[in-house]
Structure 1
Amino acid sequence: MTQACDTRTGLPPEIQHNALLQLLSNSLVLSHTAPYLSCCDVLNLAATSRAFRFLVYHTPQVFRRLELSNIKSAQFDIDAIDRGGEIWYNVQNDENLTEDDFYSGPLRGVFSNLRRLNILRDVQVLCLDGLSVTAELVHDILIDPAFSVRILSIRDVKNMNEGKLCGTLKYACRDSRPEGTPRLKGLYVFGSKDSAPGRMPASESRSPSLVSPTGLAASWNNRSQKALTAALAEEAEAWYARRGSQFAPHRIKAEWASTLVACAGIIAFDSVLCTGPRHFNSPAWGSVNIDALNAASGSPASASVPHFNVATHSLAGCASCGSAPEGWTVWGEDEFTSRRGASARRTSGSSTTNIGRFPLLAPPPMHSSSLEVAMCPTGQSVRTRVPYASRGKQQKAQFIPRCFDCIRDRYCAGCHRWWCESCYIGPFASSPGGHAGGHAAAADLVSNPSPDTNAASVNDGGGAIYKVRDGMCADGRCSLQQP
């Protein structure tokens, strides 16, 4: 009896089944394919036959990266499940159910199922963007031996107490922590969650046709085309290519600065500390007079200056001198990327004491759990050598990280030009009627101020000379470019 053939390929289903099995038996092909599939799709593949089940469950790389953002059972929407408030009312009367149990219940249920299937231990990159994630759940991910997560993404999550989360991270990175802990090395928390290129709608991913290997192969081809289209339409890469604000306004709370300081060299984040000369961690600390800066900008001399602050803006060089007092953050010209000596290693991984210098870049890596891969800019080598970069054979990826306090009245949001403290002290620095002591103090601000020949300044008629007013160039040339 002649076997029925697929009209698209002309091959019997058994031959197609074996061909796909042989293809995925190559661990390199399987490890590079699995991250583009949802957890449900991979489990559907394992359910097609014993051979596929053995292949999926006995290949650790299959679940090295796990994204739960699109899993229906992991969602938590109180408006959808409790319009009248009956469930929450019953929870309040249940003395055995804590607030954390209620809000993290869906995810804890998913983790329990994954632990039972011996999948959870293989997950090294975990994406929980947009889900209901509590600080207690992150604490469990940090300390529970069942987890081996090295890179965690919790952007745009719900029901998160950021104060508790900061306390959890500080405790995990304390000096008296057990050796080899925490296992977590990278945390995406400040940025916005990514779209899901190449993902199929939930209704399509549950289609019975995906149960067959033939249907899965056709869907993968469709997804690869969608992923390519989405990749071509992606915006410029954060920090190194996209200038200006990197996060939504007022997104980062003040306690995060001390958290980044406490986690320096242990856990990296998708932002870094501001390197402006107003902060203790800056290479240019002490090179400027803070009181003079405040006086020259019209602020009280006693204005509070935070010791540390999280960078929110990526800048190019100063419009006048082309650099900044603290210099550039350059990929490939630092100990972390050019030399990883044994004395700089930690027993729990390849992290060094300088990992806080570079931000994690979105999206989280697809095929690796390495911090170098997560931080490496597009077009750059993961382990760039200093001599190679300095010869000009590879264009340098560089930026200047600043917080808003360090670019206030110095940065134009329209054209992204800005002026550093050495080139532009402030509008009242040369004003005869400015703040008392402002002109005298500004004279001692820098020893050799750079001449400003690249931008026009505007005199307000009272002696104050502005380069930036209300966040735009004072000459009005960028009024139509403001986003």
Structure 2
Amino acid sequence: MTQTCESHNALPIEIQHSALLQLLANSLVLSQTAPYLSCYDVLNLAATARAFRFLVYHTPDVFRRLDLGNVKTAQFEIDSLDRGGETWRNVQLDENVTEDDFYSGPLRGIFSSLRRLDILRDVQVLSLDGLSVTADLVHDILIDPSFSVRILSLRGVKNMNERKLRGALQYACRESRPEGMPRLKGLYLFGPKDTTLSPAPREESRSPSPTSPGRTSAAWNNQSQKALTAAPAEEPEAWYVRRGDQFPARISPEWGSTLVACAGVIAFDSVLCTGPRHFNSPAWGTVNIEALNAASSAAETNVPHFAVATHSLGGCASCGAAPEGWTVWGEEATPRRDSEGRRTNGSCVPDLARFPLLAPPPMHSANIRVAMLPTGQTLRSRLPFIPKGKQEKARFIPRCFDCIRDRYCSGCHKWWCESCYIGPRASSPGGVPGLHSGPDSVSNPFPSTGVASVNDSIFAACKIRDGVCADGTCSLQQT
């Protein structure tokens, strides 16, 4: 390939220009290539000649995926409005400028330019990771008809008022919303920004002009070669492969009700916890919540009705499953049941709420199911030519921290479900209604009053101590 690139660069500039134009005139080649290029490279290509400018600005797929995270004009370098002093002497502001206008100024300027060029409506996958983004700007993306964004990434953004953002999302997903609104179907919000490789220094071109066809052609050849040879370090896929905590930062409990309000309308890079303590769980009503609370070591046992899942788990270390069952890609939701085991009406959860968005956002599609698709799986539940049971299932158990407290090892990710293990304050024998015994179960610690007897011997049957396996068998001991 290197020899081919060298021979191509040896051709006259006019021939290189024509060959590149003919290649990119193929809409399939252009749509598959453009997402891998930065905005800087695409705009440089459009500046080389009128033919390239027409090709770039009149092909919708070129700007279908737009990542502004590395755009210099989108950066916000002022830390705070309250700093004052020398910072403010270098900034000219109108008296009517609001705080939102100030923090979202760089992005609003870019969107205004894209709107004038009539390409803002072509953007369907928009990444604003690490930039200064306000809740009012997100509100505009949700309701402004000039935006056609279907997948939005806001990971690691600055100056975001989460309370106002939750209000904007709930308002956009209200039952009385206009038909077809909001256009946004997926929101990356809780996860970390994608890691990128450090760009290699660019080779000098034979042409002195930075926007000449020869320089552009050589740069594209260089980019193609690096894309084929460079292999970035891949982390295990979130949720389905990587077990344990999925997010670097704490998630506010108020986000649980927001995910409920957006269920079936907007998907997130997390899902609701399905533990039996929550109303949305298929196992709600099948375990004794009071007994679990009494056996917990936490002083505060007031678990919210809905919570955002932060951990991905495998099967219970004793029974290999969980009271609520698995979340399996391609399978229908497990219907909710009442305390007597009967199905409840309207219990099936839509796919937009069951499966999380997987990072990074899709390169060549704005389909929300493509953004959720686990590696090695298909959009359809099972390929027709693969026998049933032969295709490996992608599955996980989503839980919040409150539902794995005292029952999860942060070292080896082993855990015990509510049916097999009650909690660390279990001490006296008996039977707890609603808790089923497992092969490694702990007898009910409560007398008829339902109150646990707390003493020094109650920790003898603990499964977890100080966050790791109490028996010392954890593969990664706590340091």
TM-score under structure 2 normalisation?
0.86
Match of 1:421 among 418, 423, 430: 418
Corresponding residue of 1:310:
308
CA deviation string 1:361-406 (max 9, x = no partner): 0000110000011000111112233877772332111100000000
Tell me which moved more, 72-81 or 238-247. 72-81
Alignment-derived partner of residue 48 in structure 1: 48
The farther-off stretch of 400-409 and 12-21 is: 12-21
Alpha-carbon deviations, 1:12-63, whole Å to 9, x = none? 1111111111111111110010011111211110111111111111110000
SS at match of 2:457: coil
Q: 2:432 aligns with which of 436, 443, 452?
A: 443
Q: Please give the per-residue CA displacement for 1:450-483, whole angstroms capped at 9, x wherever unaligned.
A: 1129xxxxxx971431110111000123274558
- Alignment partners' CA distance in 2, 1:147 and 1:406: 39
Instruction: Name the counterpart of 1:324.
Output: 322
The match for 1:109 is: 109
1:258 partnered with 2:257: yes
Range moving further from structure 2, 124-133 or 218-227: 218-227
The AA in structure 2 aligned to 1:124 is: Q
Bigger shift: residues 83-92 or 419-428: 83-92
Cα deviation 1:395-442 (Å, max 9, x = unaligned): 11110000000000111011011110111111233x13xxxxxx55x6
Other-structure match for 1:462: 457
Q: 1:364 to 1:18 in 2, by over 3 A?
A: same
Deviations 1:199-249, CA, capped at 9 Å, x for gaps:
5679999x9765233333433343345445665511111001110000014
Deviates more, 1:85-94 or 1:175-184: 85-94
Please give the alpha-carbon distance, in whole angstroms, between the structure 2 residues aligned to 1:201 and 1:267: 40
Q: Can you list the C-alpha shifts for 1:251-277, whole angstroms capped at 9, x where unaligned?
A: x11111110000000000000000000
Question: 2 CA distance for matches of 1:389 and 1:402?
Answer: 32
Amino acid at match of 2:169: L
> 1: CA distance between counterparts of 2:275 and 2:421?
14
What residue in structure 1 maps to residue 396 of structure 2? Answer: 399
**Matched position secondary structure for 1:305:** coil
Are the counterparts in 1 of residues 412 and 476 from structure 2 also a CA contact under 8 Å?
no
In structure 2, the CA distance between the partners of 1:8 and 1:63, relative to structure 1 (3 Å rule), is closer
For residues 197 and 445 of structure 1, do their structure 2 counterparts lie closer, same or farther at Cα, with a shift above 3 Å needed?
same
SS at match of 1:23: helix
In structure 2, relative to structure 1, the CA distance for the partners of 1:313 and 1:32 (3 Å cut) is: same
CA–CA distance in 1 between the matches of 2:281 and 2:90? Answer: 52
Q: Distance in 2 between matches of 1:38 and 1:67?
A: 7
Shift of 1:72: 0.3
Q: How far did residue 296 of structure 1 move? A: 2.1
Q: How far apart are the structure 2 equivalents of 1:89 and 1:274?
A: 49
Please say if residues 44 and 216 of structure 2, whose CA atoms lie closer than 8 Å, have aligned partners that are also in contact: no
CA shift for structure 1 position 282: 0.3
The answer to whether the 8 A contact 1:266-1:353 is kept is no
How many percent identity over aligned positions?
A: 72
Q: Does 1:473 align with 2:472?
A: no
Could you tell me which residue of structure 1 aligns to residue 70 of structure 2?
70
Change (3 A) 1:421 1:226: farther
Q: CA deviation at 1:81?
A: 12
Q: Measure the CA separation in 1 of the matches of 2:80 and 2:290.
A: 54
| Cα separation, partners in 2 of 1:23 and 1:188, compared to 1, 3 Å | same
Q: 1:230 to 1:356 in 2, by over 3 A?
A: farther
Q: CA shift at 1:119, angstroms?
A: 1.3
Contact 2:412 2:475 survives alignment (8 Å)? no
- Greater helix share, structure number: 1
Where does residue 340 of structure 1 map in the other structure?
none
Aligned-partner Cα distance in 2 for 1:311–1:54: 47
Deviations 1:257-313 (A, max 9, x none): 11000000000000000000000000000010111011222456x831210000000
CA distance in 2 between counterparts of 1:52 and 1:181 reads 35
- 1:334 alignment counterpart: 332
Distance 1:230-1:450 versus aligned 2 partners, 3 A rule = farther
Q: 1:215 to 1:61 in 2, by over 3 A?
A: same
Change (3 A) 1:36 1:201: farther
- Check conservation: 2:311, 2:399, Cα contact below 8 A: yes
After superposition, residues 167-186 of structure 1 pair within 5 angstroms as 167-186=167-186
**Residue 345 (structure 2) aligns with:** none
Q: Does 1:188 align with 2:188?
A: yes
Kept after mapping to 2: 8 A contact 1:200/1:223: no
The CA RMSD over aligned residues, in Å, is 3.1
Which AA in structure 1 matches 2:471?
A: D
Task: Give the 3-state SS of the residue equivalent to 2:425 in structure 1.
Answer: coil
User: Does the aligned pair in 2 maintain the 1:388–1:394 contact within 8 Å?
Assistant: no
| Code of the aligned partner of 2:45 | L
Distance 2:93 2:197 in 1: 43
CA distance, structure 2, for counterparts of residue 428 and residue 48 of structure 1: 72
For residue 61 of structure 1, give the secondary structure of its aligned residue in structure 2: helix
Q: CA deviation at 1:137?
A: 0.3
**Structure 1 residues 202 and 314 mapped into 2: Cα distance closer, same or farther (>3 Å)?**
farther
Which sits farther off after the overlay, 127-136 or 112-121? 112-121
CA distance in 1, matches of 2:124, 2:439: 51
Distance 1:173 1:104, change over 3 A: same
Q: Distance in 1 between matches of 2:16 and 2:98?
A: 51
Give the distance between the partners of 2:39 and 2:159, measured in 1 at CA.
24
SS of alignment partner, residue 138 of structure 2: helix
Summarize the Cα distance change of 1:216–1:396 in structure 2 as closer, same or farther, 3 Å threshold: farther
| Gaps in structure 2 of 5+ consecutive residues | 335-348, 442-454
Amino acid corresponding to residue 17 of structure 2 in structure 1: H
**d(CA) in 1 for partners of 2:203, 2:132:** 22
**Which residue matches 1:354?**
351
Is the 1:198–1:227 Cα contact (8 Å) retained in structure 2?
no
Q: Pairwise mapping of residues 291-306 of structure 1 onto structure 2 (< 5 A)?
A: 291-299=290-298, 303-306=301-304
Alignment of 1:266-285 (within 5 A): 266-285=265-284
